[in-house]
Chain A
């Protein structure tokens, strides 16, 4: 994810990478990373709870438009945010 994010940013496409593992974010250092505290395979939360996916996506979009962030920017998502 991180390597793709870097290449897309170099091409002028803004990115935000959801991450399930802190280690993965630290290793590849994507420009913007949002850590989601879910099981592997469920980056957007429980698929039966569409509200979770909406909340994760919203947190990711907020990172995209936050002009105060500097790379590599890392934020943690907390349910109920």
Chain B
């Protein structure tokens, strides 16, 4: 009985999860990165003065920035040596290479970076998640790789 109920729960969750295959073959897809270091606040964390909490905001980072602007958003922002490496937070070099050899169609001209190392409530995170759609849909992005930092 327990197994059946667990299975039903899993099937229901699967049905609730939106799941889009890329609308065209990957070698024709425009791909963007979405980078975030913001974590969902856990019970009790809201009152912890050592954990910054707030309403996270998106920053738009152009491919021509080389990802350097995005690197500072991460949990290792104090590691200056690594922050100089444009590929710490954003895999733009690897993504450019994938486009150059035809593995993907194109790298989008802009990418999204959310907040900094902080926590946020579920409502604020959901609002931020909805805001991510508009700029990427406007660019006709087909697929996104989401990267935690």
Contacts and interface: CB of A to CB of B under 8 A. Distances in A.
Asked if A pairs with B, the answer is yes
Interface of A: 1, 3-20, 24, 27-32, 40-44, 47-48, 50, 53-54, 56-58, 60-61, 64-65, 67, 70-72
A3 B126 contact: yes
A3 B142 CA distance: 18
B75 interface: yes
Main secondary structure of the interface of B (DSSP, over half): mixed
- Size category, B interface: 35 or more
A39 B77 CA distance: 14
B66 to A, nearest CB: 13
B93 A64 contact: no
Given A8-B144, A54-B97, A42 B130 contact: no
A71 B14 contact: yes
B22 A64 contact: yes
Nearest 5 pairs of A and B residues by beta carbon: A41-B76, A71-B17, A9-B18, A47-B85, A71-B19
